[in-house]
Amino acid sequence: MSQMSNVLDAVVARVVARDPHEPEFHQAVREVLGTLSPALERHPEYVEAGILERLVEPERVILFRVPWVDDAGHTQVNRGFRVQFNSALGPYKGGLRFHPSVNLGIIKFLGFEQVLKNSLTGLPLGGGKGGSDFDPHGRSDAEVMRFAQSFMTELSRHIGEQVDVPAGDIGVGGREIGYLFGQYKRLNNSYSSGVLTGKNPEWGGSLARTQATGYGTVIFAQEMLRGRGLSFDGRRVTISGAGNVAIYATAKAQALGAHVQAVSDSSGYVVDEDGIDLELLRQVKEVERARLSVYAERRAASSAASGSATAVRYVAGGNIWDLPADIALPCATQNELTEADAETLIRNGVQVVAEGANMPSTPGALAAFQAAGVSFGPGKAANAGGVAVSGLEMAQNASRDHWTFEQVEAKLTDIMVAIHNTCLATADEYGTPGNYVLGANIAGFTKVARTMLAHGVI
Ligand code: NDP
Ligand code: 2IT
């Protein structure tokens, strides 16, 4: 065992020494490799074939200039990235993130997680990730379009339905996918529906892709609850974020009878004693692209108009994890839930945590949850519903078919339940019952490792 730990430590040390300025990538690699010893003990052939060294090295990294002209006529220059991490199981697949914090280390961490997540879905998908440090907040539609067109002009030469299939992530939703797809189509003079996922269902998208990540996270959490003899019904739920994943996690949790008490954005959080008003949330965030404070203002105004007491509170700059909750679903961004936050949640009786975002819990938070016996579902398992339905979108595009919402949702449910059960079965197999982190990492890894071994040293 300790010999294997030495091997893993050496791989981590080399990752850190090679790219010392990529802390999020180091964190993701450490977290995964920290759980693989027992699998490698059983499969020394993976170590001998250099699978670990290859797993942590992207197959290809593309970094490019994205020049565009803003509404004031000024030239802006952003950076574009696409990390084609691993194609053992299928074409590279993973989202694009547009956020000012984006850098190569963040895209590498997301790409690395994506490889294992996509493996867990059981679909034929490799892993990749991309994006830009472009900030869509406050930009006009015309600016977003010009930026997206410039971004795709370079990206288009690197992607394709058998090569690499991007989708959305933070800052990239239906509007951005539309502009990106339009430019790809124009540059290639071909209607290659399968080159991007997250498209509008009117022109090649899958029904239920918009809902898939949030719904999937809640379906996964529901299975976790079931294991503890619990359900969402009547439980207090805190959901961080107010974007695509948070909104549809709210919708599904409410449909299962939960009391979703709070959501957040990067400026603060709202607590709504009557439960989050989903239609108002969608109006404010999806339609108006406004701040969450606007949600609170509207709710307070409608309470005042109807003469009832105001049940909503906006806490600027506050910490959403201070609220007592039975179930916590972090759905905003990486490292948003710290060890101190985990301790507060544990003290307040949290029972299940499922990650809708990618790596939202710090390593200290994760350890604290596990030590306290909280059921903890890591992002690569719990949020795999988004990419899973992207895989279903690719299948529909390839067969020129279009499935109903109910058909897609039924397949999504099956996939999430299967991932949940695979995590638990793998954790049992390795003598760590209930350890979803170990189960997800080993199950995701071994399928990729077996395949890499079969394909030879490439
Ligand atoms: P959106 O852009 O739709 O929403 C992101 C939300 O998170 C916003 O409310 C945003 O607030 C908040 N947020 C972003 N960055 C920060 C930050 N640095 N600090 C605090 N809040 C922040 O993105 P998604 O909902 O699509 O993505 C959310 C998470 O889910 C990400 O981790 C993403 O990687 C992950 N994910 C997404 C999938 C998808 O299908 N979309 C699939 C699987 C995982 P603000 O507007 O103030 O910035
Ligand atoms: O992190 C993720 O899994 C996503 N952003 C979705 C990727 C995809 O290709 O649908």
Q: CATH number of the domain that 80 lies in? A: 3.40.50.10860
Residue 303 lies in a domain: yes
Whether 129 is catalytic: yes
Residue 108 lies in a domain: yes
CATH number, domain containing residue 37: 1.10.285.10
Q: 169 CB under 6 A from ligand 2? A: yes
170 and 225 fall within a common domain: no
181 and 256 fall within a common domain: no
Query: What gap in Å lies between CA 231 and CA 221, rounded to an integer?
Result: 9
Residue 364 lies in a domain: yes
Query: What gap in Å lies between CA 352 and CA 334, rounded to an integer?
Result: 19
Query: What gap in Å lies between CA 437 and CA 378, rounded to an integer?
Result: 6
Residue 304 lies in a domain: yes
47 and 170 fall within a common domain: no
Boundary (domain end) residue, out of 157, 190, 223: 190
CA of 283 to the centre of ligand 1 (A): 17
| Residue indicated by tokens 């200039």 | 65
Check residue 304 and give its pLDDT: 83
Residue 339 lies in a domain: yes
Q: Is 325 left (phi over 0), alpha (psi -120 to 50) or beta?
A: beta
Give the binding-site residues of ligand 1, using a 6 Å CB cut-off: 168-171, 173, 213, 241-246, 265-267, 331-333, 336, 356-358, 383, 386
249 and 364 fall within a common domain: yes
CA of 247 to the centre of ligand 1 (A): 11
Boundary (domain end) residue, out of 130, 158, 190: 190
Please tell me the residue having the least CA distance from ligand 2 atom 4: 95
Catalytic residue among 108, 117, 129, 447: 129
Query: What gap in Å lies between CA 183 and CA 145, rounded to an integer?
Result: 9
Give the helix/strand (H/E) hosting 61. Answer: strand 60-69
103 and 168 fall within a common domain: yes
53 and 71 fall within a common domain: no
Boundary (domain end) residue, out of 341, 356, 373: 373
Give the helix/strand (H/E) hosting 63. Answer: strand 60-69
218 and 184 fall within a common domain: no
- Detail the DSSP E strand segments found in 293-384: 312-316, 327-330, 352-354, 375-377
CB 243 within 8 A of CB 332: yes
Residue 256 lies in a domain: yes
- Any long-range contacts for 63-71 (C-beta under 8 Å, 24+ apart)? 63/104, 64/154, 64/155, 65/154, 66/132, 66/134, 66/147, 66/150, 66/151, 66/154, 67/150, 68/143, 68/146, 68/147, 68/149, 68/150, 69/146, 70/139, 70/143, 71/140, 71/142, 71/143
Residue 310 lies in a domain: yes
Q: What is the chain's Cα-based Rg?
A: 21
35 and 110 fall within a common domain: no
Q: Report which DSSP code applies to 327.
A: E
Residue 397 lies in a domain: no
219 and 98 fall within a common domain: no
229 and 268 fall within a common domain: yes
38 and 69 fall within a common domain: no
Q: Where are the alpha helices (DSSP H) in 189-277?
A: 209-227, 244-255
Sheet with 75-86, strands from edge to edge, namely 60-69, 75-86, 127-132, 92-98, 164-167
Please tell me the residue having the least CA distance from ligand 2 atom 10: 387
Q: 244 CB under 6 A from ligand 2? A: no
Residue-number span of the structural domain to which 144 is assigned: 60-190
**pTM to 2 decimal places:** 0.98
Choose the residue to mutate in 390, 392, 412 for probing ligand 2, maximizing ligand atoms within 8 Å of C-beta: 390
Residue 50: count other Cβ atoms within 10 Å of its Cβ.
13
Give the atom of ligand 1 at the shortest distance from the alpha carbon of 358: 32
Candidates 115, 195, 105; CA nearest to 158 is: 195
In the chain, the number of structural domains is 3
1 and 136 fall within a common domain: no
Query: What gap in Å lies between CA 392 and CA 402, rounded to an integer?
Result: 10
Could you state, in chain order, the average pLDDT of each consecutive group of 10 residues for the chain (458 residues)?
Answer: 86 98 98 98 97 98 98 98 98 98 98 99 98 97 98 98 98 98 97 98 98 99 97 98 98 98 98 97 98 95 83 96 98 98 98 98 98 98 99 98 98 98 98 98 98 97
Q: 197 CB under 6 A from ligand 2? A: yes
